[in-house]
Amino acid sequence: MDDKTHAPNPDNFRWDNDGTADVLPGTATRPTAGEPLASVIDRAISRRALLKGSAVAGATLVIAPSALLAPSPAAAAPRHRDPGSRLTFETVPPGNEPDIVVPPGYSVDILLRWGDPLTPAAPEFDVDQQSPAAQAQQFGFNADLVLWYPLPRLVARSVGIRGRLGAIANRSLGLLYPRLATQTSRHALVVVNHEYTSGVDMFPGYDSAAPTAEQVRIEIEAHGFSIVELRLGDDGRWRFERGSPFNRRSTGSTPIEIAGPLRGHALMRTSADPDGVEVLGSLNNCAGGKTPWGTILTCEENFDQYFANFTAVTGASRAVSERIPAPDGASERRWEDVVERFDLAKEPNEYNRFGYVVEVDPYDPGTPAKKRTALGRFKHEGAAARIARDGRVAIYSGDDARFEYVYKFVSAGTYDRFDRAANLDLLDRGTLYVARFDVGDVAGDDMGDGVWLELSPENPILADWTLEQILLDTRGAADAVGATPMDRPEDVEVSPQTGKVYIALTNNSRRTEPDEANPRIANEHGHIIELIEDDPADLAFRWNILVKCGDPAVAEHETRFGDVTDPIAAGISPIADPDNLVHDDDGNLWIATDGQYFSGSVGFGQNDGIFAVPVEGTDRGRLRQFLSGVPGGEVCGPEFSGDNKTFFCAIQHPHDGEAFAKLWPTDETRVSRPSLVAVRRNDGRKIGR
Ligand code: FEO
Ligand code: CA
Ligand code: CA
């Protein structure tokens, strides 16, 4: 607590609530950002008539508001009559303690910290003896996404013997995965994203004006993601298995395949890769999601910050990035001084090879990760999957910058649980859509309907575009079709119980024109939208605002928590800047925040944390705090083990920009160590209930 006498300096909060887009390039003014709602709707109606083959055709405007919240007949009924009532943990008060706070009866284990060796050969972390080669085998920096996967014995055996996943084990895994993913498993694989680095928190004596070549190379290796094996002990604690053949790092220099429609395209070719089929590294991996066949979707978010000299890029390569530009001159990181491909004056097309959803199979260390270009190029934050009735697969994704959009991809092929190998390339062919949120029957009631607008040359508005142009300049195509600019769409999650889609909108202090789905001017604390489709292949949806964040005790915050009429009496916690999401197996939504301490114009003054909110039943909207993080540290990647007896999260940039006597989680005083954390109940029962 006394640490807090060192008040954090907002000027040091370099990445601006993780909304890097706000301070870095990439938020170039959009043609439709300030457009009055009426004209958006007028355009919408005329455009609707144009849309070829659209199933929407006016039908979305006649749904009665009372029907908007009704569960769709296609959706599975919640397993329990009133799941919210089962959340019985004691609310954690808002605070700014120097350590993680969880409810009484719970314990916190730190599983991995930045620099921890991931293989038997990797050196132990030594802050004064860092090297790129060591970092490439150690847990990376700034942990974000966390995903848990059960590890069946036959898969472990197959990889143990061959070093890669055999065909029979792969087929068996496809059959077993959906069931095992919701059960107890004593062996598991966990993926953790390493979103970005900050030299000042990594290197004692760091000079940000002149980073050394060695420091730059270490930072490149500290990016990407880690896949690690964890083993559950009899004491209920997960422990990292350093000798596991599944442990691996993908860094900012690891070869990754370019897959989908942009593979081999002229704008994807560089001097090092004249065929346009392989790129080095995945960068700024933020949130992500799991596919139904048990692979990882890890998302490249603020990739613009790594490149320099966009001003030298011309012609077609420039045109596809006008809406997502890199810095005109030098980058803040100065990687271009050390690694030539980050200098766009020398390698203009390298920039086109970032900004994608990357799919990787955690079960097969023998296969490379793949950039799935069919899902478009923007600042991807999350990727959530849902299977349609006909077997096609929808992937929902947000573009995290102010006034950007929410997208959905629907695969052309269908999911086949009997053929996991075939599922592995399902995301290379399909159709991309972007969301337009409409008013519905009544204006100002925090609900409405909407349509998914097709982003392909089949849409008459995009008849002059090629598919490749659309996938490279996805924001530009979404502008053209009239998508709804949102208040920073971050993580997106699908409820496994109901199929409803939840979208975290972190904040948007620059909003001057409210609309139905982003109703607050200068939205300081963010909101969460619930999107309801009968089937994920549908082009029409209904939506409502589940939570308008803020402090329920402060009237000016104009909060909303489901349909709770007296949030103070209901014991609802103050919350700001919702970011990453996950559901527990009762369907309750768990929310991680990013930037609460400085949220809004006057600050919120509490550490980031984890909050749980029932979304069905009488307790819908009764949001309460479960965990409080550490000063300066964003809480990321909320995730549950299959049996819901462990809750995982990551603490990103602990003590960012602050001078503290002790830097959680170690006694180290010079560098910050982002970490993977597990929370368990001391009585071994399910989290929260
Ligand atoms: Fe990496 Fe949008 O947070
Ligand atoms: Ca984040
Ligand atoms: Ca409405």
143 neighbors 192 (Cβ within 8 angstroms): yes
Q: What angle do CA 612, 287, 412 make, to 5 degrees?
A: 110
**Residue 356 in this model has a pLDDT that exceeds 70:** yes
* Average pLDDT score over residue span 125-131: 96
Tell me if 490 CB under 6 Å of ligand 1. Answer: yes
What H or E segment, with its residue span, contains residue 423?
helix 420-423
Tell me if 381 CB under 6 Å of ligand 1. Answer: yes
**Residue 398 in this model has a pLDDT that exceeds 60:** yes
* Average pLDDT score over residue span 446-464: 98
Q: What is the residue with the minimal CA distance to atom 1 of ligand 1?
A: 286
Instruction: Give 400 Cα–ligand 1 centroid separation in angstroms.
Output: 7
Give the separation between CA 373 and CA 288, rounded to whole angstroms. 15
Ligand having the closest approach to the CA of 399: 1
The chain-wide mean pLDDT, for the chain, equals 88
* Average pLDDT score over residue span 490-498: 96
How many CB atoms are located within 10 Å of the residue 565 CB?
9
| Per-residue confidence band for 669, with pLDDT thresholds at 50, 70 and 90 | confident
Tell me if 301 CB under 6 Å of ligand 1. Answer: yes
**Residue 155 in this model has a pLDDT that exceeds 70:** yes
Q: Give CA separation, 119 vs 132, 248, 254, in Å.
A: 15, 8, 17
* Average pLDDT score over residue span 638-662: 86
Neighbours of ion ligand 2 (CB under 5 A): 18, 579, 594
Q: What pLDDT, on the 0 to 100 scale, is given for residue 85?
A: 74
How many CB atoms are located within 10 Å of the residue 669 CB?
11
What the block records as the tokens of 70 is 């009704």
Q: What pLDDT, on the 0 to 100 scale, is given for residue 662?
A: 63
Phi and psi of 453, rounded to 5°?
A: -95, 130
Instruction: Give 102 Cα–ligand 3 centroid separation in angstroms.
Output: 38
Instruction: Give 556 Cα–ligand 3 centroid separation in angstroms.
Output: 22
505 neighbors 486 (Cβ within 8 angstroms): yes
Q: What pLDDT, on the 0 to 100 scale, is given for residue 58?
A: 28
What's the length of the chain?
689
Q: Which atom of ligand 1 is nearest to the CA of 284?
A: 1
| Per-residue confidence band for 332, with pLDDT thresholds at 50, 70 and 90 | very high
* Helix/strand/coil (H/E/C) assignment for every residue in 416-453: CCCCHHHHCCHHHCEEEEEEEECCCCCCCCCEEEEEEE
Give the separation between CA 541 and CA 406, rounded to whole angstroms. 13
Q: Is the bond preceding residue 665 a cis peptide, omega within 30 degrees? A: yes
Instruction: Give 441 Cα–ligand 3 centroid separation in angstroms.
Output: 6
Q: What pLDDT, on the 0 to 100 scale, is given for residue 69?
A: 36
**For 368-403, b where at least 16 C-beta lie within 10 A, e where not — what string?**
ebbbbbbbbbbbbbbbbbbbbeeebbbbbbbbbbbb
| Per-residue confidence band for 36, with pLDDT thresholds at 50, 70 and 90 | very low
Cross-strand partners of 325: none
Residues 272-297: pLDDT tens digits?
A: 999 999 999 999 999 999 999 999 99
Ligand having the closest approach to the CA of 41: 3
Q: What pLDDT, on the 0 to 100 scale, is given for residue 665?
A: 87
Q: What pLDDT, on the 0 to 100 scale, is given for residue 79?
A: 47
- Which residues does 175 contact at the CB level (< 8 Å), separation at least 6? 417, 418
Tell me if 195 CB under 6 Å of ligand 1. Answer: yes
Angle between helical axes of 167-180 and 153-162 (0-180°, round to 10): 150
Place of tokens 């053949």: 245
Tell me if 608 CB under 6 Å of ligand 1. Answer: no
Tell me if 400 CB under 6 Å of ligand 1. Answer: yes
Q: Which atom of ligand 1 is nearest to the CA of 302?
A: 1
Residues 211-252: pLDDT tens digits?
A: 999 999 999 999 999 999 999 999 999 999 999 999 999 999
Q: What is the residue with the minimal CA distance to atom 3 of ligand 1?
A: 18
Q: Starting at the edge strand that comes first in sequence, how are the strands of the sheet with 624-628 ordered?
A: 578-583, 589-593, 609-613, 624-628
**Residue 48 in this model has a pLDDT that exceeds 80:** no
* Average pLDDT score over residue span 641-664: 84
Cross-strand partners of 298: 288, 358
Which residue, among 424, 108, 122, has the nearest Cα to 244 in the 3D structure? 122
How many CB atoms are located within 10 Å of the residue 225 CB?
28
**Residue 2 in this model has a pLDDT that exceeds 90:** no
Give the separation between CA 247 and CA 115, rounded to whole angstroms. 14
* Average pLDDT score over residue span 156-182: 96
Tell me if 300 CB under 6 Å of ligand 1. Answer: no
Instruction: Give 287 Cα–ligand 2 centroid separation in angstroms.
Output: 7
Residues 416-433: pLDDT tens digits?
A: 999 999 999 999 999 999
Give the separation between CA 323 and CA 378, rounded to whole angstroms. 9
User: 508 in helix, strand or coil?
Assistant: strand
| Per-residue confidence band for 657, with pLDDT thresholds at 50, 70 and 90 | low
What H or E segment, with its residue span, contains residue 317?
helix 315-319
Determine the distance from the C-alpha atom of residue 33 to the mean position of all C-alpha atoms in its chain, rounded to a whole number: 23
| Per-residue confidence band for 82, with pLDDT thresholds at 50, 70 and 90 | low
| Per-residue confidence band for 473, with pLDDT thresholds at 50, 70 and 90 | very high
Q: What pLDDT, on the 0 to 100 scale, is given for residue 16?
A: 37
630 neighbors 652 (Cβ within 8 angstroms): no
Cross-strand partners of 279: 256
Tell me if 18 CB under 6 Å of ligand 1. Answer: yes
Q: What pLDDT, on the 0 to 100 scale, is given for residue 661?
A: 59
Terminal-to-terminal C-alpha distance of the chain? 29
What the block records as the tokens of 624 is 């309460």
Instruction: Give 340 Cα–ligand 2 centroid separation in angstroms.
Output: 29
Q: What pLDDT, on the 0 to 100 scale, is given for residue 602?
A: 85
Tell me if 516 CB under 6 Å of ligand 1. Answer: no
Give the separation between CA 526 and CA 670, rounded to whole angstroms. 34
Percentage of the chain lying above the pLDDT 90 cut: 82
Ligand having the closest approach to the CA of 636: 2
Tell me which of 85-99, 252-266, 653-667 is least confident: 653-667
Q: Give CA separation, 405 vs 20, 127, 181, 251, 353, in Å.
A: 16, 41, 31, 28, 21
What the block records as the tokens of 412 is 């052309």
| Per-residue confidence band for 378, with pLDDT thresholds at 50, 70 and 90 | very high
Which is more confidently placed, 535 or 654?
535
Instruction: Give 1 Cα–ligand 3 centroid separation in angstroms.
Output: 44
Residues 603-614: pLDDT tens digits?
A: 888 999 999 999
DSSP state for residue 595 in the 8-state scheme: -
Q: Which atom of ligand 1 is nearest to the CA of 18?
A: 3
539 neighbors 56 (Cβ within 8 angstroms): yes
- Helix, strand, coil shares of the chain, percent, nearest 5, are 20, 25, 55
Ligand having the closest approach to the CA of 379: 1
**Residue 304 in this model has a pLDDT that exceeds 50:** yes
Tell me if 97 CB under 6 Å of ligand 1. Answer: no
Phi and psi of 341, rounded to 5°?
A: -65, -15
